[in-house]
Amino acid sequence: MRMLFLLLAMPLLLAAAPPKRPQRIVSLNLCADQYLLALADPGQIAALTRFARDPQMSAEAEKAAHVPISRGSAEEVLALRPDLIIASPFRRRETMAQLRGREIATVDLPSAESYADIVAQVRQIAAAVGYPERGEALVAQMDRRLAAVPRDGGAGATAAYYQRRGYLTGTGTLVDEMLRRVGLRNLAERLGKPSLARIGLEEMARARPDYLIVESASEHVIDQGTEMLHHPILADIPRIRIPQAWTVCGGPAYADAVASLSAQLKPGR
């Protein structure tokens, strides 16, 4: 009788077993790098992208210092013997087309354009690496940080996220949501610009936003692209500086960017 009970219970025990955690994860996406460094065990990561250690591009460059990296070619990926590949939809199709016939789990990671997207991706990657509880803990941590940021600190002031070579970040983007979250209005909306537009110095000076938000790496002139941000015609517009690595991807650094943005607003402006 006892043996019969065990045999009947066996399928239930098997069904309830936790999924196997991947042991050789390869990232082909800079944003996936950030999630893996936050959610996976170091030993699970077979390789991150070549940008993972670049502090201008990766918010977790320090953590990535001792993690293997790859250039992401199909040959190199195959040599890494991955059991999970995380990539943007386009990059995944491109690489996997060359690895056709091989059974490798994949996760598509499109660009996050909102905090809701980031939360969904945290949970998706946490589940994929076998640690859903870490995902929930990270979401709770980000929620707490964002809840502490005043929603009206910008008091409706206009801000322009102005990048090297004169590119202006528009509406419908992650940066645009950051501005709204602290009570700022995106200059691109007022000017009717798309999600990314090039705007000259004269037009920017005429528009006269209350703030220019620039990447902290552009603090010094290093080429013609950054030189225009130091033109005298823009000199008297107050600046907010945010590391590019905090905005190039959705991910845990979103909360850092929002908190820094809020802290640099001038009261009563």
Fold of 158-263: Rossmann fold (3.40.50)
> Cβ–Cβ contacts within 10 Å for residue 265, how many?
21
For 220, counting Cβ atoms within 10 Å of its Cβ (0-12 exposed, 13-18 middle, 19+ buried), the class is: exposed
Is-same-fold flag (16-146; 158-263)?
yes
The pLDDT assigned to 119 comes to: 98
- In the chain, the percentage of residues whose pLDDT exceeds 90 is 71
Round to whole Å and give the CA distance between 56 and 248: 9
Residue among 175, 134, 176, 170 nearest 21 (CA): 134
Indicate the SS3 state at residue 16: helix
Q: What are the sequence ranges of the domains in the chain?
A: 16-146, 158-263
Contacts of 49 (CB under 8 A, 6+ apart): 27, 28, 29, 30, 32, 33, 69, 70, 72
Give tens-digit pLDDT for 106-127.
898 999 999 999 999 999 999 9
Q: Which residues pair with 211 in a beta bridge?
A: 159
CATH architecture of 16-146: 3-Layer(aba) Sandwich (3.40)
Residues of the chain with confidence (pLDDT) below 50: 1-18
